Structure 1
Amino acid sequence: MESKNPIQVSERIFHTIEYLAQSGPTGLQDLSNELGLNKSTVHRILNSLICMDYVRQDTETLKYSLSFKFCRISNQILSQNSMIDIARPYIKQLAERSGETVHLVQIDHIHAVYIDKVESPRNSVRLVSMVGKSIPLYCSGVGKAMLADMPDEKIRSVWEQSDIRKITEYTITDLADFQEEIRKIRRNGYSLDNEENEPGVRCIAVSLKSFQGKPSYALSISAPKDRMEDSRIEELKEMILNTKEKISQETGSF
């Protein structure tokens, strides 16, 4: 009897985890349909994940969902990231001064991942962003800020590997237009997200270099577009560039 491909087994396990993370509580039949696997196979995968405390089953609905063990693992990963500790006091101060939501992200291949978020106590509007969520580099303020600090050939590589599509009516999907946007960011020292990733939301962002001098992080101020007119952007520009300088002095990377 031919043994199972261990890579295929792992792939099925992670597809199950990723689908549950995206969909929330799901029944066995729906999982089977979505994953394209028979119910017995999915049931074995789920039982294994339940035994390891990664999945739980509701006794009433019989639906499966991920456990909080993933949150514990996520917190352990984030706790090892010293950039969060260094930047935290500065982004709290920036949120208080600006009265808006401030994000810290880290690059992850062709995406940016939110690793910290501070909302101003004066801000009554809550954005959909959350720590752990990833967004494409090509259509986000933070992503474009980091890309602008990279060589042109690296930018083209990221573009070619990305799923370029119109997320909103303002998303840039033409490479020539995107390259012009990058040149503008390099001149200004900051990037803008003009409702390119989320309708009704604008942001201003700057890149932050890692201890090794690579553009691995970015900082942004986000707000509903009615609070982010061009005149307001001019005010926030000074705040965020000043915060970038302070953090860069701490990390020793300019």
Structure 2
Amino acid sequence: MEQKSVAPALTRGLTILEIIAREGAIGFNELKEKMNLHATTVNRLIKVLIDKEYLAKDQNSKYTLGIKFLNLSNQETFWNKIIQKLHNSMKEINEKYGITVLLTSLDKDKATVIYKIIESSNLGMLEVGNTHYDLMNFPWGILYIAEQEKEKQEELIEKSYADPSRNMNVVDRKDIDKLIVEADLEKHVDDKGWFFNGRRFAVPVFLSNGKLIGALCSGSNKENLKDISIEDVINDMKKAVEGLDL
């Protein structure tokens, strides 16, 4: 019998988190049985926890702990560990191709530059700590948009088109859709140089449960592209993030 609580919904929500933290990924029916609650009640609790990113669904449609546990109180430590794992690969890409390499976080409809290895003679790109919300105008933002439901995609695209601070070229909507399809199918984005006088690339960084948390990004001035294999750049970026084991 469930012990009485002054905040029963909070208690139930915490119990769900404790079960998943202790036992790992779990399906809805199994969780409902362990909670001994009506399906409607469990579903309502789960929805709140997912909306607040305390829970997430993995590729098997089971519930796991969400990104909030990773970036709530120890966000700096979490990203520092990723930086340590990626630094050598980012440096190798920087030196091999003579391009700037960025690591960005993607969360709550915004992108923030976490780490950067610059190539001063080429495209400098954004500064560490820079946060932007006009996601459509950046290949790493396209990766984020591609992960959203259709209605949310439309919202983010319209927000970018309407952003008064935007200084990128206006790209035709059908071309934006092509980039979203590329992000979804190929797990990378090459912005083709459509947005300004430079060309940028991005590959996603996922948690082990399939949650997108960031992107590894690079870019080049157009005049430098004749000496660079774009396919090789993207492949090296993908290899860099494949072994992160998050």
TM-score (norm 1): 0.56
CA distance in 2, matches of 1:78, 1:223: 29
Gaps of 5+ in 2: 1-73
Please show how residues 86-105 of structure 1 align to structure 2 within 5 Å: 86-105=85-104
Tell me: CA distance 1:244–1:152, structure 2 relative to 1, closer, same or farther (3 Å).
farther
Identity %: 21
Out of 238, 243, 246, the position equivalent to 1:246 is: 243
Write the letter of the residue equivalent to 2:168.
T
- Indicate if the aligned counterparts of 1:110 and 1:161 stay in contact, CA closer than 8 A: no
3-state SS of paired residue (1:91):
helix
Q: Aligned in 2, Cα 1:246/1:97: closer, same or farther, shift over 3 Å?
A: farther
Find the partner of 1:151 among 149, 157, 168: 149
> Deviations for 1:221-254, whole angstroms, at most 9, x for unmatched residues?
111111135962122122122223233xx22xxx
For the structure 1 residues 188 and 212, does the alpha-carbon distance in structure 2 shift closer, same or farther, using more than 3 Å as the test? Answer: closer
Assess if the C-alpha contact under 8 Å between 1:195 and 1:201 holds in 2: yes
| 1:1-254 matches, cutoff 5 A | 78-81=76-79, 82-120=81-119, 124-125=121-122, 127-135=124-132, 136-164=134-162, 167-169=167-169, 171-172=170-171, 174=173, 176-197=174-195, 199-210=196-207, 212-229=209-226, 232-247=229-244, 250-251=245-246
Q: C-alpha distance in 2, partners of 1:245/1:80?
A: 17
Paired amino acid for 2:106: I
- Cα deviation for residue 126 of structure 1 reads 5.6
Give CA deviations for 1:156-207 in whole Å, capped at 9, x if unaligned. 23224445466333x3253x4422321133333310234455x322111111
Unaligned stretches of 5+ residues in structure 1: 1-75
CA offsets 1:21-74 (integer angstroms, 9 cap, x no match): xxxxxxxxxxxxxxxxxxxxxxxxxxxxxxxxxxxxxxxxxxxxxxxxxxxxxx
CA distance, structure 2, for counterparts of residue 217 and residue 94 of structure 1: 18
In 1, are the aligned partners of 2:123 and 2:198 still within 8 Å (CA)? Answer: no
2:9 corresponds to which residue? none
Letter in 2 for 1:92: K
| Runs of 4+ with >6 A deviation | none
Higher relative CO (Cα under 8 Å, sequence separation at least 6) belongs to 2
TM-score norm. by structure 2 comes to: 0.58
- Structure 1 residues 229 and 151, CA, compared in 2 at 3 Å: closer, same or farther? farther
RMSD: 2.9
2:16 counterpart residue number: none
